[in-house]
Structure 1
Amino acid sequence: MHSGSCLCGAVTLTVADRLPSPNFCHCLKCRKHSGHYFASTDVPRAALTIVGEEKLTWFQSSQNVRRGFCSTCGSSLFWDRLDRDWIAVAMGAFDGPTETAANLHIYVADKGDYYEIADGLPQHGTVPPRD
């Protein structure tokens, strides 16, 4: 079980499962949403419990995707494509150890010009195909 929250604690979350390896998304929308690239882990919806949902605001960032943030402190918490059975949770929201290791970088063709990716992880210009 892993728990976390936004900066002010108005929105808390619990994932009743192990956390999959996080991905780093460098697309323009994720960079604007998070202030840098977005580090997140894809968890099954059924494993996620959110408390304080009344403080969670959803922004429809494209036809298929919405992004969730705390309406009090502004913390970026979720990337949600509604037609999938999982939701991406921001790694920075978790309290304590996550027992994970980074997996890969996506949308690196859109990354900011002010940093380099030099961690040796796989890099994809867009999103890698899923098996």
Structure 2
Amino acid sequence: MTDQIHTGGCQCGAVRYRATGEIGFPHLCHCRMCQKAAGNYFMPLGGVKWEDFAFTRGEPAWFQSSETVRRGFCEKCGTPLFYDGSSDHISITLGSLDDPQNVKPQLQTNLARKVSWFGELDHLQHDAEMDMTPDQERAVAKSTRQHPDHDTDAWPPEEKP
């Protein structure tokens, strides 16, 4: 096992977790169940052994999506966080990591359900006029209720009088 520490959590900060060691089998799952659970075209997942995983704030709600699989999510903000296939590991949604750049997917699964035009996404035009300006980003940052991408002692922060 390596000394890597991965932290992450939901958008509102009610559920936080820590995984120690390498996140294995980082992949994009295109199955219809993952598409529905993510509300997206695919779900990025990677696994860590239960013994190397801990909740550090709150606990997820669970939805039993099939006989053998339950999916963990934040009950407060709805962020999909986990896939538990009743084995010795838990799969983490890679986008919920504080630093998702650190875990690059290495393969894809369930390609029969992959949307037919998925490979064309990189070729979509970019409308730079729709990008936030630095002033807009600062204004959003001042009023955001999104948990920062690092562990905090408490969340949400206390309101200032």
2:74 paired residue number: 70
Q: 2:37 aligns with which of 33, 40, 49?
A: 33
Q: Cα offset for 1:18?
A: 2.1
2:149 paired residue number: none
1:125 paired residue number: none
Q: Cα offset for 1:118?
A: 8.9
Unaligned runs of 5+ in 1: 120-131
Q: Tell me, in whole angstroms, the C-alpha distance in 2 between the residues paired with 1:10 and 1:63.
A: 27
TM-score (norm 1): 0.81
Q: Which has the higher helix share?
A: 2
Q: 1:108 aligns with which of 85, 92, 111?
A: 111
2:58 paired residue number: 52
2:85 paired residue number: 81
Runs of 4+ with >6 A deviation: none
Deviates more, 1:6-15 or 1:18-27: 18-27
Deviates more, 1:59-68 or 1:93-102: 93-102
Instruction: Work out whether residues 11 and 79 of structure 2, in 8 Å CA contact, stay in contact via their aligned partners in 1.
Output: yes
Change (3 A) 1:3 1:113: same
Q: Cα offset for 1:100?
A: 2.9
**Larger Rg over CA atoms:** 2
Q: Cα offset for 1:98?
A: 5.3
Unaligned runs of 5+ in 2: 123-161
What is the SS of the residue equivalent to 1:22? strand
Q: Tell me, in whole angstroms, the C-alpha distance in 2 between the residues paired with 1:97 and 1:113.
A: 26
What number of residue pairs does the alignment pair up? 116
Let me know the Cα RMSD of the aligned residues.
1.9
Change (3 A) 1:118 1:103: farther
Change (3 A) 1:43 1:33: same
Change (3 A) 1:107 1:23: same
Identical-pair percentage: 36
2:48 paired residue number: 43
CA deviations over 1:90-117 (Å, ceiling 9, x no partner): 0011112553322111001012234227
